[in-house]
Amino acid sequence: MTKDWPLWEVFIRGQYGLSHRHVGSLHAPDAEMAMLNARDVYTRRNEGMSIWVVPSADISASAPSRKGPMFDPSNDKTYRHPTFFDIPDEVGSM
């Protein structure tokens, strides 16, 4: 009978100032080992400058059935995007 170590989600911030990004998951007995394992598993090719590890069980995710109410309302707010506005070329960059 085999029992897994807990599952962790791994987030890594790369070199160019972008936000932490989810890269995958792994098993580890505790947070400290999860951090070391994440370093060994997910930064083998110089991908990382900072690591977050989070117990998978602690992540709250949006429900797929709520996709419509959650995300459709932002579809028609095109005025939030810069290309919504026509600015004459003479004005220069903005």
Of positions 12, 28, 51, 53, contacts another protein by CB under 8 A: 28
Nearer to another protein, 61 or 91 (CB): 61
User: Cβ of residue 14: shortest distance to another protein, in angstroms?
Assistant: 14
Listing DSSP states for 27-92 in one string gives E-SSHHHHHHHHHHHH-TTS--SEEEEEEGGG-----GGGHHHHHGGGTT-GGGSGGGS---GGG-
Q: Which residues bind another protein (CB under 8 A)?
A: 2-5, 7, 23-30, 32-33, 36-37, 39-41, 44-45, 61, 63-64
